[in-house]
Amino acid sequence: MMLRLPFIALTITCTALFAQDTRTNWETLFREIPASDRIGTYVRRLAARPHHVGSAYGKENTEWLVSTFKQWGLDSHIETFHVLFPTPKGRSVELIGPKKYRALMQEAAFSVDPTSGQRTEQLPTYHAYSIDGDVTAPLVYVNYGIPEDYEQLERFGISVKGCIVIARYGASWRGIKPKLAAEKGAVGCLIYSDPKEDGYYNGDVFPEGPWRPKDGVQRGSVMDMPLYPGDPLTPGVGATQGAKRLDVKEAKTITQIPVLPLSYADAQPLLSSLTGTVAPEGWRGALPITYKIGPGPAKVRMIIKSNWDIKPVNNVIVTIPGSVFPDEWIIRGNHHDAWVNGAQDPVSGAAAEMEELRAYSELLKKGWKPKRTIVYCLWDGEEEGLLGSTEWAEAHADELKQKAVLYINSDSNGRGFLGISGSHSLENFINAVARDIEDPETKLSAWKRSQLRRIAGARSIESRQEARNREDLRIGALGSGSDYTVFVDHLGIASLDMGYGGEDGGGIYHSIYDDVYWYTHFADTDFTYGRTLAQTAGTAVLRIDDANILPFQFTNFAETVRLYVDELKRLLSGMQEQFKERNLQIAEGLFSATDDPKEPHVPPKAKEIPPHLNFAPLDNAVDELAGSAKQYAGALKKVSPSRSIPTESLRQINQKLIQSERLLINPDGLRDRPWFRNLIYAPGFYTGYGVKTIPGVREAIEQERWKEAEGEIARVAAALTAHAAMIASIAADLEKTAR
């Protein structure tokens, strides 16, 4: 289904290149409008009851959102997709020997917290997209359940084959844990919140403090999102009513083994029944037990059975048509669905987004005419697997490829420091925005406060110097974990993800305690930073909307890619040195000589030393990119600010700028996961949310596939070269225009 955009007659006009004065005025006006108390009102409304995918209140919320936006005079509608969404009909975890214990699997309601008792509407504690199962097996503790933990287990001579693993949350996205456990032969997977990461170790627990209480559980999706996010039954296409669907059995993103989450109160009896090897220091949490690995003698039975229903996913879409470049879309989104009440995740961000819309409606009344089409989205089904955004973007893929200038995402928000990740062609742009936002606590700019924090937190003299002296603060690269994924990774649309945080801790993530009581007692209690987020994202939208030439900048991108290439080289040389050293240590008998015969280890095996790889194609491509970027920056400077340029020329230049980002996409995608097509940014196959930049090369090196690494180098180099050529071509266009 196409986006319903009012038709705008395109007339040929001329536009002054930098509409500085106009911009400042509308922006300044805009930033005055967002109000904390209104954001508070939205949060209280949206988070009043549980509102996960398919819930009654989720539906009510979307209807309320649409009617509110319509009241504000904005074009708004619900766009629905139909996705596979399993909900549990049976769950249990039981220690059946040597002692008996039946896991409670129920979060406690507290009388001070009025929404914690809405039990009939709350989703139970479970992991969405776990396969059904009923397994009984010895238990084994695998720490975070990430690849290096299994390497450690190998040194201990411990296999998880035929076992149920218990892993703690942390160090990777949760879905990686069952994926890796299944690869290693485990038959079930439990994931619990250790108080070290998420409980009393960090501070008072809820409701006295913000941290996870003993029965609190982190729900979450365990869908194999690094393969593809969105509806498991409709990879690559929108899950419309009539879409062709896979059979549930064919869906590769459903787990291979059953998975369930546990509270630390439920985990403790299980963990304390393990014997055998004492867990190494880095594996120990904050429970008052000796952490041991097992396997066994603890034997566990776990059962999970789900209703495998198709449920509606309701996105709310708001469109403000562009007056000059209606076919250039500025897209902004935040999800509205939650695991339970979700006052923080995602309502704190969604409410800010709402307030941006209210501010636009005020500006529109005052005569503001956006040049471009502004599309605001409130996504459904983010929690279960980025369902709403993925299906929407897949459904509108062709149009988005043509028209999307960028996508600006937010999610949970809190007090503190502005955090930004995104496409590095927008790094310079978003830095400029951050310089114009006032931090409410310090009255410094959000940029300055971030900079000072980086100086304070720098781990080396070099990074401190960079924080002090580089014109722009570096933004992080996007991995996954929120709704930007389909835009940046699947469609090659430049994206930004932003939010404030870093001051309030807490342990209510994906629990019934992420609610209004918690948020108004322990987070951005007066919604001051909600207002600041609205100011930040809205300023970005207004500024990019108002720009005649879209504010992409490529010197930062080129410099960043060079850093990534350097990282790849260091990764390889590090592995060479490490393997060489380990082989030498094996040869000199170090492992047996330093081993304690009472606690023997399995020595590692000697490995072939990684070959040298030909990085020249990448180096050449980066040089070209840097050259083009410089050329583009030079051309831009030559264009006089006061000069009028025919709108059609601008349109053509901007279209090329938009398309330049698409060149980072390769239609074949990444190895074993063609849905992921961005050659520069991707979530890691074994990290989940964590980004792997230049993923084809990086993961080939990490997984010791040397031939493939060289092939990937060539593929990335070709994309960068094409990208560089496009930028050079835009620069030439600009020079012509400037003459």
Among residues 25, 442, 640, 703, the one that binds a copy of itself under rule CB under 8 A: 442
Of 245-253, 303-311, 423-431, 446-454, which segment contacts a copy of itself by CB under 8 A? 446-454
Across the strands, what pairs with 335? 379
**How many amino acids of this chain bind a copy of itself (CB under 8 A)?**
40
- For position 195 contacting a copy of itself by CB under 8 A, the verdict is yes
Residues 456-475 that bind a copy of itself (CB under 8 A): 456, 464
- For position 587 contacting a copy of itself by CB under 8 A, the verdict is no
- CA quadruple 280, 285, 291, 294: dihedral sign: negative
- For position 449 contacting a copy of itself by CB under 8 A, the verdict is yes
- For position 594 contacting a copy of itself by CB under 8 A, the verdict is yes
Q: Which two tokens stand for residue 30?
A: 């805009």
Burial class (CB in 10 A: 0-12, 13-18, 19+), 253: buried
DSSP 426: G
Among residues 366, 598, 605, 739, the one that binds a copy of itself under rule CB under 8 A: 598
Please state the φ and ψ torsions of residue 537, each to the nearest 5 degrees.
-65, -40
Q: Quick one: 247 or 588, whose CB is closer to a copy of itself?
A: 588
Do 139 and 274 meet the contact criterion of CB atoms below 8 Å apart?
A: yes
Least separation in angstroms between residue 586's CB and a copy of itself is 12
Least separation in angstroms between residue 415's CB and a copy of itself is 8
Least separation in angstroms between residue 601's CB and a copy of itself is 11
Do 322 and 370 meet the contact criterion of CB atoms below 8 Å apart?
A: yes
Do 217 and 105 meet the contact criterion of CB atoms below 8 Å apart?
A: yes
Amino acid at 409: N
Amino acid at 349: G
- For position 608 contacting a copy of itself by CB under 8 A, the verdict is no
- For position 588 contacting a copy of itself by CB under 8 A, the verdict is yes
Q: Quick one: 401 or 453, whose CB is closer to a copy of itself?
A: 453
- For position 444 contacting a copy of itself by CB under 8 A, the verdict is yes
Of 234-242, 420-428, 590-598, 715-723, which segment contacts a copy of itself by CB under 8 A? 590-598
- For position 147 contacting a copy of itself by CB under 8 A, the verdict is no
Site of tokens 């009581």: 517
Among residues 323, 576, 585, 652, the one that binds a copy of itself under rule CB under 8 A: 585
Q: Quick one: 194 or 699, whose CB is closer to a copy of itself?
A: 194
Least separation in angstroms between residue 525's CB and a copy of itself is 9
Helix (H) or strand (E) holding 611: none
Of 14-22, 167-175, 199-207, 484-492, which segment contacts a copy of itself by CB under 8 A? 199-207
Across the strands, what pairs with 316? 78, 378
Binding mask 279-318 for a copy of itself (x = CB under 8 A): -----x-xxxxx----------------------------
- For position 117 contacting a copy of itself by CB under 8 A, the verdict is no
Least separation in angstroms between residue 509's CB and a copy of itself is 18
Q: Which two tokens stand for residue 55?
A: 């819930």
Among residues 202, 218, 412, 536, the one that binds a copy of itself under rule CB under 8 A: 202
- For position 200 contacting a copy of itself by CB under 8 A, the verdict is yes
- For position 151 contacting a copy of itself by CB under 8 A, the verdict is no
Q: Which of 306, 681, 344 is nearest to 499 (CA)?
A: 344
Number of alpha carbons in the 13 Å side-chain half-sphere of residue 125: 27
Are β-strands 416-422 and 495-502 bridged in parallel, bridged antiparallel, or unpaired?
antiparallel
Residue 194 to residues 12, 222, 300, Cα–Cα distance (Å): 62, 18, 19
- For position 416 contacting a copy of itself by CB under 8 A, the verdict is yes
- For position 695 contacting a copy of itself by CB under 8 A, the verdict is no
Q: Rounded distance, CA 722 to CA 625, Å?
A: 9
Among residues 455, 563, 571, 722, the one that binds a copy of itself under rule CB under 8 A: 455
Do 171 and 144 meet the contact criterion of CB atoms below 8 Å apart?
A: yes
DSSP strands (E only) in 293-424: 299-320, 325-335, 372-379, 404-410, 416-422
Q: Rounded distance, CA 670 to CA 295, Å?
A: 36
Among residues 596, 605, 608, 642, the one that binds a copy of itself under rule CB under 8 A: 596
Radius of gyration of the chain from its Cα atoms, rounded to whole angstroms: 26
Q: Which two tokens stand for residue 565?
A: 């290439």
Least separation in angstroms between residue 591's CB and a copy of itself is 8
- For position 573 contacting a copy of itself by CB under 8 A, the verdict is no
Q: Rounded distance, CA 391 to CA 385, Å?
A: 10
- For position 441 contacting a copy of itself by CB under 8 A, the verdict is yes
**Residue ranges that bind a copy of itself, judged by CB under 8 A:** 195, 200-205, 209, 211, 278, 284, 286-290, 415-416, 441-442, 444, 448-449, 452-453, 455-456, 464, 503, 581, 585, 588-590, 592-594, 596-598
